[in-house]
Amino acid sequence: MSAPSRILLAVYPIFFLSGVSGLLYQVVWVRWFGRIFGNTLYSASLVTAVFMGGLGLGGYLGGVLVDRLHARRGHAFPLKLYARAEVAIAGLGLLLAFLLPSLEPFSASISAYVTDARGWHHLTA
């Protein structure tokens, strides 16, 4: 088995675990934002929009960057760049884990529920 094939066999599980952790982040953020916004519909919409926007923007900008750097620095550099990005995402996830609970009192102080004519409660800012 050639060296690039062995590298690919080692990288595939890492990509799989990266995707699983991204889905876990989504679930956790929907739950936390549900506590902040008081409704899971708003939190799910926000998390999905940010996640999909990040995938699109990151895919485009990351592809352009990797194409340029690959030509200059060789085959291994894009993989090193990906590893650095994963470490940065993990750090951001930890930061948000500590930041989100402190946003709950702030959200409660600037928003309230009002009842409409049909008896439904709506979140207002």
Burial of residue 5 (CB within 10 Å: 0-12, 13-18, 19+) is exposed
Closest to 3 (Cα-Cα) out of 103, 76, 71: 76
pLDDT, residue 38, reads 67
In this predicted structure, the answer to whether residue 80 has a pLDDT above a threshold of 70 is: yes
The tens digit of pLDDT for each residue in 12-68 reads: 888 888 888 888 888 888 887 777 776 777 778 888 898 899 889 988 998 888 888
Confidence at residue 49, expressed as pLDDT on a 0 to 100 scale: 92
**What angle separates helix 3-37 from helix 77-110, to the nearest 10 degrees?**
0
> Is the model's pLDDT at 125 over the cut of 70?
no
9-32 in b/e form (b: 16+ CB < 10 A) is: eeeeeeeeeeeeeeeebeeebbeb
Is the pLDDT score of 103 beyond 90? no
CB 52 within 8 A of CB 44: no
pLDDT score for 53: 94
pLDDT grade for 106, boundaries at 50, 70 and 90: confident
Average the pLDDT over 77-89 and give the result.
Answer: 82
The answer to whether 36 and 100 are in contact (CB under 8 A) is: yes
